[in-house]
Amino acid sequence: MVQKKKFFKLFIICTLFVFINNCTNQDKAPGPPYTAEVLQMNSMTSTQKRSEAPTFKFDKATFTWLQDLNSLNGNYFNFVFGGILKASYVSGSIVSAKSFEQSKDLNLRYNVKNGVVVPKDYSTLAMLSSYYQFDVVANNIQTMTGYSMDSIFSKYGKIRIFFEPKIILESDGSTIQSSGKLNAAYVPGAHQFIMFQRSNLENIPLAANLQVIAHEFGHSIWELAFDNGSTPDCDRLNQEYVIRGLNEGFADMNSYTLTGSTNILQNSIDFGNGGTQRNFSTITFTYDNITGGVADSSNSTCEQSFYCIGTLFANALFNAQKNLGYDQTSLSGSLARGAFMTLVTNAIKTTKSNMSNLPSSSLIKFYDYCKPSPGDSNNSDYNGLILGSFFNSFLTQIGSGATQTQICTQLKANFGSVGFPSTYRVGCT
């Protein structure tokens, strides 16, 4: 078992050992199915708290959907190395980019020992490990959300995963490379993922962290449910500050549903208060604590901008799940994490089309729906009306009964009278 602080020391030792003892021509790997040494997350045990960070290990694993090892091309995913993505904007881990230019050969370097692919360098290890995490998500996505990979494939086609691309912003030509804030991202509309090897802030590489991959995949499920799989280029609701936050909260819930941990970032980026503020099962702040610009400035409450909205949303869903008697230690079962997240996903499918009583976007001088709104946590009342409209429709789609009542009660506790005005409430006690 590899603790996160020992990861890179152990990796360097492993890499040197592999390099010194395997300076031969690359062998042909048997498969498919292929088996390789990759970074994997150890399953959370039933005795662990959901707020704990899981541990990781190097071990051999068999790929389910990978068909061509050297090109990392499979039934549902295809890796693309390098290249240039031209983006109109970047918002959190969402990148708006539809233009792609150039690419390089993957050039995986490995040896084969007893039928097992052993990476010879860090880049190969990172790519194989990253692909394996997508395989794990694909194996479990139907249990998590109700969507099968075949149904996702029929809507999106084969999903491309860009590894180490260069992202150029169309507005000013500036370049975005790997950073603490963008090492993994989703590209809606194009249905693509972006992965960087690592930054100097990471412990477990984000691109190889199952928790992070499951979060990013959650964005693709949000797009599938909220926008029927096709995010409009210029859409007011998707560009609203709080809707972007709710998208992040849904993605966090998707990650927790698969892994059983609400502590998504600690293993990869453990600095400042970022990981703690995103650990949604343990937060104590409310909407009132992050209004008036607080969420968009350095503070000890929550300085994660619209992510704070998502954390409050995920926390409300998590607490409702617990109070309704779901088994939070299990993924599968009629009263397990997957069943609850499927219920949430099904409600999201018809939430957008039934949202009503929205405030005029002119209140915050929001006219250009092709880029994120100028609104932030200073616009507390306006944001509350957007949230209220979403929550009202979402709860209506959940349907009357104990689940609606419990979710409404938790949303009311987290968002209060400003973030969830009483006129929008459905089923609250």
**% of the chain with per-residue pLDDT over 70:** 85
Rounded mean pLDDT, 337-366: 97
Cα 331 from chain centroid? 17
**Residue 93's pLDDT is what?**
74
Whole-number Å distance between alpha carbons of 323 and 326:
8
Question: Confidence class of residue 208 from pLDDT cuts 50, 70 and 90?
Answer: confident
CA pseudo-torsion sign 416, 418, 419, 420: positive
pLDDT of 179: 40
The one-letter amino acid code at 247 reads N
Mean pLDDT calculated for residue range 141-163: 95
- Of the ranges 26-35, 61-70, 140-149, 359-368, which one carries the lowest mean pLDDT score? 26-35
User: Which parts of 228-364 fold into alpha helices (H)?
Assistant: 236-239, 241-259, 274-278, 307-323, 337-348
**Res. 186: pLDDT tops 50:** yes
| pLDDT at residue 130 in the model | 94
Q: Binning pLDDT at 50, 70 and 90, where does residue 187 land? A: confident
Q: Which alpha helices (DSSP H) does 6-60 contain, by range?
A: 7-21
Mean pLDDT of 205-217: 89
For strand 94-101 and strand 73-74, is the pairing parallel, antiparallel, or unpaired?
unpaired
The tokens describing 47, both together, are 């005795």
Encode pLDDT of 273-329 as tens digits: 666 788 999 999 999 999 888 888 776 688 888 999 999 999 999 999 999 999 999
Inform me whether the pLDDT recorded for 270 exceeds 80: no
Task: Output phi, psi for 245, to 5 deg.
Answer: -65, -45
| 222: pLDDT strictly greater than 90 | yes
- Better pLDDT: 147 or 271: 147
pTM: 0.90
Contact (Cβ atoms closer than 8 angstroms) between residue 343 and residue 143: no
How do 175-176 and 166-169 pair as beta strands? antiparallel
Tens-place pLDDT, residues 50-80: 999 999 999 999 999 999 999 999 999 999 8
**Is residue 177's pLDDT more than 70?**
no
pLDDT class of 20 with cuts at 50, 70, 90: very low
Q: Are strands 56-62 and 35-41 parallel, antiparallel or unpaired?
A: antiparallel
Average pLDDT for 184-201: 76
Least confident of 150-164, 184-198, 396-410: 184-198
Confidence band for 46, pLDDT divided at 50, 70 and 90: very high
Q: What is the dihedral of CA 415, 416, 420, 422, to 10 degrees?
A: 160
Q: What per-residue confidence (pLDDT) applies to 180?
A: 38
- In angstroms, the CA 202 to CA 376 distance is 28
According to the model, what pLDDT value does residue 94 have?
Answer: 78
Alpha carbon dihedral 212, 250, 154, 93, in 10-degree steps, equals -50
Q: Tell me what pLDDT residue 175 has.
A: 58
pLDDT classification of 413: cutoffs 50, 70, 90? very high
Q: Is the pLDDT of residue 171 over 80?
A: no
| pLDDT band, residue 188 (cuts 50/70/90) | confident
Residue 89: per-residue pLDDT? 77
CA distance from start to end of the chain: 46
Q: What is the largest CA-CA distance in the chain?
A: 70
The yes-or-no verdict on residue 19 having pLDDT over 80 is: no
What does the alpha-carbon distance between residue 387 and residue 291 come to, in Å, rounded to a whole number? 13
pLDDT for 92 equals 72
Residue 272 has what pLDDT? 55
Q: Is residue 363 helix, strand or coil?
A: helix
- How sure is the predictor about 144, in pLDDT bands with cuts at 50, 70 and 90? very high
pLDDT tens profile 85-137:
788 877 777 788 766 766 777 889 999 999 999 999 988 999 999 999 999 99
pLDDT at position 146 over 70: yes
424 close to 357: Cβ distance less than 8 angstroms: yes
